């Protein structure tokens, strides 16, 4: 009886579809990733910036479709996850094999920022053709919901999460209310009292398309507010 190749060997799910930074996480999303030199360089630059007080930690990555940008974002998110997270362990093992010196810089940054145990608040979102404020709010909600606050932080965590949900629901309502960039920044500042905040936006070109369609409604000033916040 003849058999088809797919009956004998099937691809892992992560290779069967595009990576989505909101949907995909954990060791399964990392397994099989092959970090090339530019990816290692990007991780090293970010980690080096996190180890300094005199630079703004805002990076952008550009490249053609399928070049691994989304996968790299998931690796970075995993490296900045909490202690004991299987995804962080997988990402560290992968990086240790090809660039142990870069992993050492990542670990130094986590320790320096007091996030070795708790990890970062990892706010990830895949942009749509929408104002950047909507994408950032969705990312912040995503990050706050999966962050586990330490003892004594629960009240602040619930308060910030509630406020973020409120702003996002107002934005997505029948009569959208676009929050002021400084209002969003204030909630990021409150989140940062719990742990360092990492904001990852994938498919950012869609935000630029929205800005080209309606500059007044899709103002990018929020990104400047966040980038310059220390």
The DSSP output letter for 67 is: S
pLDDT band at 15; cut points 50, 70, 90: very low
**Which residues, in sequence order, are CB contacts of 93 under 8 Å at separation 6+?**
none
Secondary structure of 179-214 in HEC code, one letter for each residue: CCHHHHHHHHHHHCCCCCEEEEEECCHHHHHHHHHC
Q: What angle do CA 98, 100, 102 make, to 5 degrees?
A: 100
Q: What pTM value is reported for the model?
A: 0.86
- What's the pLDDT at 16? 45
Q: Is the sign of the CA dihedral 182, 183, 187, 190 positive or negative?
A: positive
Write down the number of H helices and E strands in the chain.
12, 2
pLDDT digits (tens, 9 = 90+) for 44-98: 999 999 998 877 788 888 888 777 888 899 999 999 999 999 999 999 999 999 9
Average pLDDT, the chain: 87
Residues 148 and 120: their CA atoms lie apart, in Å, by: 10
* Residue tagged 């004998």 (tokens): 8
Closest CA to 219 of 206, 210, 227: 210
Closest CA to 99 of 75, 130, 116: 75
The stretch 180-200 carries a mean pLDDT of: 94
pLDDT digits (tens, 9 = 90+) for 123-154: 999 999 999 999 999 999 999 999 999 999 99
Residues 1 and 182: their CA atoms lie apart, in Å, by: 68
Give the CA distances from residue 117 to residues 50, 78, 140, 144, in Å, rounded to whole numbers and listed in that order: 16, 13, 20, 16
Helix (H, G, I), strand (E, B) or coil at 145: helix
pLDDT band at 26; cut points 50, 70, 90: low
Q: Is the pLDDT of residue 2 over 90?
A: no
Q: Is the pLDDT of residue 213 over 50?
A: yes
Cβ atoms of 86 and 27 closer than 8 Å:
yes
Query: In terms of C-beta density within 10 A (0-12 exposed, 13-18 middle, 19 or more buried), how is residue 60 classed?
Result: exposed
The stretch 109-115 carries a mean pLDDT of: 96
């Amino acid at each position: 009886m003849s058999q088809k190749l797919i009956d004998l060997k099937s691809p892992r799910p992560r290779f069967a579809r595009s990576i989505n930074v909101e949907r995909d996480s954990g060791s399964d999303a990392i397994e099989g990733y092959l970090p090339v030199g530019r990816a290692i360089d990007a991780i090293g630059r970010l980690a080096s910036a996190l180890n300094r007080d005199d630079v703004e930690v805002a990076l952008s990555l550009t490249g053609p479709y399928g070049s691994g940008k989304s996968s790299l974002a998931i690796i970075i998110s995993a490296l900045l996850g909490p202690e004991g997270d299987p995804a962080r362990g997988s990402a560290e093992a992968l990086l240790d094999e090809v660039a142990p010196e870069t992993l050492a810089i990542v670990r130094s940054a986590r320790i320096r920022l007091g996030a070795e145990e708790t990890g970062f608040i990892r706010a990830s979102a895949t942009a749509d053709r929408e104002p950047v404020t909507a994408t950032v709010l969705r990312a912040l909600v995503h990050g706050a919901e999966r962050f586990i606050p330490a003892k004594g932080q629960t009240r602040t965590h619930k308060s910030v999460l509630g406020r973020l949900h409120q702003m996002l629901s107002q934005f997505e309502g029948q009569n959208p209310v676009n929050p002021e960039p400084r209002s969003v920044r204030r909630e990021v500042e409150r989140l940062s009292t719990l742990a360092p905040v990492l904001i990852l936006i994938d498919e950012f070109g869609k935000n630029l398309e929205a800005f080209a369609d309606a500059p007044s409604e899709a103002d990018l000033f929020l990104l400047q507010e966040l980038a310059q916040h220390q």
